[in-house]
Amino acid sequence: QVQLQESGPGLVKPSETLSLTCTVSGGSIGTYYWSWIRQPPGKGLEWIGYIYYSGSTNYSPSLKSRVTISLDTSKNQFSLKLSSVTAADTAMYYCARTISGYCQFDYWGQGTLVTVSS
Amino acid sequence: DIQMTQSPSSLSASVGDRVTITCRASQSIANSLNWYKQKLGKAPRLLIYAASSLQSGVPSRFSGSGSGTDFTLTISSLQPEDFATYYCQQTYSSLGITFGQGTRLEIK
3-class SS letters over A38-51: EECCCCCCEEEEEE
Would you say residue B95 has pLDDT above 80? no
* Ramachandran angles phi, psi of A114, nearest 5°: -115, 125
- Residue A101: predicted pLDDT: 84
Q: Least CB-CB distance to A44: which of B42, B50, B87?
A: B87
| Chain segment B42-73, per-residue pLDDT in tens | 999 999 999 999 999 999 999 999 999 999 99
**Contact (CB<8Å) A105/B101:** no
Q: Least CB-CB distance to A61: which of B34, B96, B102?
A: B96
- Residue A22: predicted pLDDT: 98
Q: Does B24 touch chain A (CB under 8 A)?
A: no
Which residues lie across from B103 on neighbouring strands?
Answer: B86
- Residue B1: predicted pLDDT: 86
- Of A14, A27, A32, A35, whose CA–CA distance to A109 is shortest? A35
Neighbours of A29 (CB within 10 A): 20
Torsion, Cα of A16, A41, A61, B55 (10° steps): 130
Residues B80-87: what's their mean pLDDT? 97
Q: Determine the residue among A33, A36, A45 to mutate to test chain B binding: the one whose Cβ has the most chain B Cβ atoms within 10 Å.
A: A45
∠ Cα B103 B14 B53 (to 5°): 50
| Chain segment A88-98, per-residue pLDDT in tens | 999 999 999 99
Q: Does A94 touch chain B (CB under 8 A)?
A: yes
Q: Does A44 touch chain B (CB under 8 A)?
A: yes
Q: A107: distance to nearest CA of chain B, Å?
A: 8
- Residue B23: predicted pLDDT: 98
